[in-house]
Structure 1
Amino acid sequence: MNKVKAASVNELKHILYLPRFLPYRLTKLSGTVSRDLAAQYSAAFDLTIPEWRIVALLGSHPGLTAREIAPLASLDKVSISRAVERLVKAERVEKRTLDGDRRSAALYLTEAGKTCLGEIIPIAQHYEDQLLESFTPEEIEQLDGFLNRLDAKAEALKEGD
């Protein structure tokens, strides 16, 4: 009997059970939340997920460059470039060339961008409230702490590469 259990446990070590694999669960949750939230504002505001992330970041950190936005928004260079160009064309974001570096531009929300963000924030906050409504304030603080720890550990592992 013990030999059968040992063999089963040994076999399980070589199987990746996705429903319990943290990276998969985080990716799945992130994708579900991003798509669901985007569905609520994309039609009304004509924004893609990368555009929304850029608008939100510039709302709290005006003057970021595309290079600075990339890690904060978890977006690649091509996605950021396309999103910024669409936002500039829609007159929601303006580029200001940096002194001393003509190749880089600081990005700022225009009045139209600020208005758009002001209309989206309540939608995003309502979604977050719904997502967390079954958690106590203490559990939300714990979750925030766990996510901060996971984020820091993932950054440390990335730096170790």
Structure 2
Amino acid sequence: MKRINEYKKLFNVTGAIDLKELKTSYRNLVKEWHPDKFQAGNPLAAEAEIKSQQIIDGYHFLVSIAPETKAANLEAYNATINESGIADFKHKGLTLEVTFQDGSVYEYFGVTRSLYIKFVNADKPLRFAKRNIFHTFLYRKSKRAEVAA
């Protein structure tokens, strides 16, 4: 959740993510912080390099959790959670990363440690996740899924 809020703050996004607004904000930030805009001797050159990478990462992240993106990929998501079993999972902070047997990797944001423990200790983790995690928490398809596939 912290990462989502940081990226929203970077792009001045309040409330739901609108892709058109996000794209406009992204273009303006890239123009402002593009590394080629700063000469090698300029003290802001190194900062611009870091900032531009952060802008690019933030944009791709926010696009992946936007309602339009989720709606476009809903059919594939439902097929994955209903037809594929869980191959692996990791929990760090409030993020649960689930790798499915079809190679897809999804991140779920806001999953507390206590819920994760219940998930791990469940007799049928997939059934527990379908009821308590998959449709309850904000999720996105992880880029690592594309590499693994």
TM-score (norm 2): 0.31
Bigger share in helix: 1
> If the length of structure 1 is used for normalisation, what is the TM-score?
0.29
Structure 1 or 2, whichever has the larger Rg, is 1
Higher strand residue share: 2
